Amino acid sequence: MSERKAKPTLPPPRVGRITSVKGVRKELVRLYTDARRGDGLSPGNAAKLAYVLQACQKVIEVESIEARLRELESKLQEAKRV
């Protein structure tokens, strides 16, 4: 019986929290660079991750708009009371 050498397993990549559009942009640039260099990320997987990042960006943008709208509505209600 031949012994198979187990491939060393790499720890999962550290993924920071993406809480801004700027963070999404940085991650998209990293994905693009890794895929172009062939750093273990296939273009297909990079495209899938980019799609998820675009969805995250939309959520971040909508949350920002909602917060700004709530602030404006609050100021409008205060102005009406005065």
Q: How large is the greatest C-alpha to C-alpha distance in the chain, in angstroms? A: 87
Mean pLDDT rounded to a whole number for the chain: 88
Identify whether the C-beta of residue 31 lies closer than 8 Å to the C-beta of residue 50: yes
pLDDT tens, residue by residue, 10-42: 666 767 789 999 999 999 999 999 999 988 888
Q: Could you tell me if 11 and 25 are in contact, meaning their C-beta atoms sit under 8 angstroms apart?
A: no
- Structure-token pair, residue 17: 């929290």
d(CA 73, CA 82): 15
| Res 67 pLDDT > 70 | yes
Q: Is the pLDDT of residue 69 over 90?
A: yes
Q: Which has the higher per-residue pLDDT, 54 or 1?
A: 54
% of the chain residues with pLDDT over 90: 68
**Per-residue confidence (pLDDT) for residue 41, from 0 to 100:** 87
